Structure 1
Amino acid sequence: MTLATPHTTLPPHSDGIRLCLAELLQYKDQAVRWLPPAQSIWSHLNGKHTSRQKGRGMNFSEVRPYQAGDDIRAIDWRVTARTGKTHTKLFTEEREQPVMLLIDLSSSMQFGSQLMLKSVQAAHFASLLCWLTIKEQDRIGAIVYNGKTLHEIKPTGRQQGALRVINQLIASQAHINTHTHEVNEADTQPNILFSEALRHLSHLCPKGSEIIIVSDFHSLKADDKQSLSRLRHHNRIQFVQIHDPLEQGITAFRGTEQVADQTQSVWLNFAAATTREQLGNQFQHQQALIKTLANSLAIPLYSLNAALPLLQQLGQQKGQS
């Protein structure tokens, strides 16, 4: 559905609805721009926020008696003074940090009023994160959630890990596109709640993972706080919210249009200010829940617009930071 969209060019190989390999592979060459410490994709998503980034280095392991050949700069002078014998500190190289994505492709994500569906924008951002993770020599894994099924991709290193996630995103979006317009009365497959996806994430991700949840969070409930709290106990979590301007009542269109998702269809009069206000109020109500939950668990919340190309948004944020 398009409502008086401003002129904005789609990313290469993209039609805004389906996904293809060439469309997501383009982010492989872009990832190097956001490698820390020189850059940070999170700081550019929020110009005033400086995100704590994982740095590579050495972690303290133990203290043992000094041996010939040890670096004198590593001598532990406190232990040496206390024991009367020279002791040195040992360090181990910092271990990799797996990155786990939870990517929401459910019915509410299959919506876009201007440039692309929210699900497509989520896949673009997930692809950038995959290639960034591989560039940092970490493993990447994911859960792709569509409201009916969960596809688990165990953390895998190198290019294979990124391609496994990308191929699953393409397959899942293709399946959704194929079935969107079908009348499927015989489909008795129960819905899978967002909370179930969080529980699967808890079982799949190794401790010490970087967890990034990419969603519009329409299915997030206050009861999910417990699951998120358990996840956060041993991992770091970040929220990336995908939104569309129409959800906030922002549109230049002033006619009557049918608005539909995979569950319902309604006619809305966008010429009426009350219609636009009601949409904005509903969005703000859900937004308050998301922000309250994120703040209570100290989870950073970032935002991406489905009406603008991903790299254009990152470029704008970069210029403002």
Structure 2
Amino acid sequence: MDQQLSPYSDGVNLCLDELLYFKQHAIHWLPPARSLWSQVLGHHQSRQLGRGMDFAEVRQYQAGDDIRSIDWRVTARTGKPHTKLFTEEREKPIVLYVDLSASMRFGSQLMFKSVLTAQMASLLAWISVAQKDRVGAIIDTGNQLTELKPVSRNSGPLALIQHLVQLHQSILHANSETSSKDMSEGFHALNRLCPKGSEVVIISDFLRFSEQNQLLISRLRSHNQVRIVHISDPLEAGITDYRGVEQVSDKRSTMWVDFSSRKVRDQIAAAFESKQHQLKSLSHSHGLSFTCLSTQKSLLQQLSGRDQ
């Protein structure tokens, strides 16, 4: 299965070359010819964002101006109607939430969930700057948040992948780790960091997601476009060729699991399907897009296979 891994990747560690590799693939998903999101979701997303909210100037009202843009203060002061002019917004902030918490550093087949997450974040960042958008991120290790404000050109993706590699390798080889918090702090940071009108992409296994987080998602959605990318491993759905008894842990509790039992595997699958159904229902009710990725195949294989 090693041949399925991206170049420079071993499925466990992260390096700069591994994430820089996705820059050359960004061109394959540039709209309008072939948008990544339209491909995985089955619809076209327009690049036109409408009138931007960056104020340009005030001038005297002219026939045909939008009356909603009239500056009533200047109008009252001068006695003549004046209207506000705005610059058209074409550069959109893209903010990625990248989950590198304890449960993400796991993989039973091709790679760790954290590695797949970092690769997806890298690809999205390179696509975004190719579209002349700004890229920022919240990297959440479960115990520490790293905030990267949206910036334009290559500096956005480069800062992101440098922090991803540094943080991932640091926590991967840490001797000890305290239990991870839920996603509340990360969502609070997103609400604080994201300018209105941002596109927010949350990449996580959502094992730390709680009902209390739904309000923060709703608040985030009220001013931004929000996408959910659910990262999973086949073993979480009970899919494995292993038929022995093994001790497993979710970093909060530990138990022995008999993988030779069909009933046990079915119970694991049912729990996974229930969790995923909840995420899909949440996405539908809040108007979020929903995408699934698995560690059993390389990222590019999964994305290119969507249109087959």
TM-score, normalisation: structure 1: 0.82
The match for 2:138 among 140, 143, 157 is 143
Residue 187 of structure 2: aligned partner: 198
Residue in 1 that maps onto 2:160: 165
1:99 correspondence with 2:99: no
| Among 183, 201, 206, the residue aligned to 1:212 | 201
Amino acid corresponding to residue 15 of structure 1 in structure 2: D
Task: Name the structure 2 match of 1:108.
Answer: 103
Which runs of no fewer than 5 residues in structure 2 stay unpaired? 68-84
Shift of 1:210: 0.4
Match of 1:307 in 2: 296
Separation in structure 2 between the aligned mates of residue 279 and residue 256 of structure 1, nearest angstrom: 14
Calculate the aligned-residue CA RMSD, in Å: 2.6
Structure 1 residue 56 displacement after superposition: 6.6
Amino acid across the alignment from 2:47: K
Q: Does 1:28 align with 2:23?
A: yes
- The aligned residue for residue 128 of structure 1 is 123
Determine the structure 2 residue equivalent to 1:226. Answer: 215
Tell me, in whole angstroms, the C-alpha distance in 1 between the residues paired with 2:252 and 2:62: 69
Partner-residue secondary structure (3-state), 2:133 = coil
Asked if the contact 1:110–1:261 (Cα under 8 Å) also holds between the matched residues in 2, the reply is no
Moved more, 34-43 or 191-200: 191-200
Out of 200, 217, 235, the position equivalent to 2:224 is 235
Following TM superposition, by how much is the alpha carbon of 1:92 offset from its aligned partner in structure 2, in angstroms?
4.5
Paired position in structure 2 for 1:154: 149
The alignment partner of 1:158 has SS state of coil
C-alpha distance in 1, partners of 2:17/2:122? 11
Tell me if the contact between 1:98 and 1:140 (Cα under 8 Å) persists in the aligned partners.
yes
Aligned-partner SS, 1:225: helix
Percent of aligned positions with the same letter in both sequences? 41
What is the match of residue 73 of structure 1? none
The one-letter code sitting in structure 1 at the alignment partner of 2:205 is D
Quick one: distance in 2 between partners of 1:316 and 1:274? Answer: 32
**8 Å contact kept, 2:243–2:259:** yes
Letter of the 1:110 partner, please give it.
R
Q: Which moved more, 1:272-281 or 1:117-126?
A: 272-281
2:34 is matched with 39
* Alignment pair present for 1:178 and 2:173: yes
Shift of 1:7: 6.9
Secondary structure at 2:195 match in 1: coil
Secondary structure of 2:19's partner? helix
- Taking the aligned partners of 1:263 and 1:13, their CA distance within structure 2 comes to 32
| Alignment counterpart, residue 43 of structure 2, candidates 38, 50, 54 | 50
Distance 2:166 2:2 in 1: 29
Shift of 1:43: 2.5
Deviations 1:277-299 (A, max 9, x none): 11101112212221221111011
Distance 2:246 2:193 in 1: 43
2: CA distance, partners of 1:52 / 1:312: 22
Q: Are 2:101 and 2:180, in contact at CA under 8 Å, matched by a contact in 1?
A: no
Q: Which residue of 2 aligns with 1:272?
A: 261
In structure 1, what is the Cα distance between the partners aligned to 2:149 and 2:86? Answer: 29
1:257 matched to 2:252: no
Matching residue's letter, 2:158: L
Amino acid at match of 2:214: K
CA distance in 1, matches of 2:4, 2:213: 37
* Distance in 2 of aligned mates of 1:227 and 1:51: 27
Separation (CA, whole Å) in 1 of partners of 2:250 and 2:212: 25
| Larger RCO, structure (CA 8 Å, separation 6 or more) | 1
Q: Is the 8 A contact 1:222 1:293 kept in 2?
A: no
Q: Is the 8 A contact 1:98 1:210 kept in 2?
A: yes
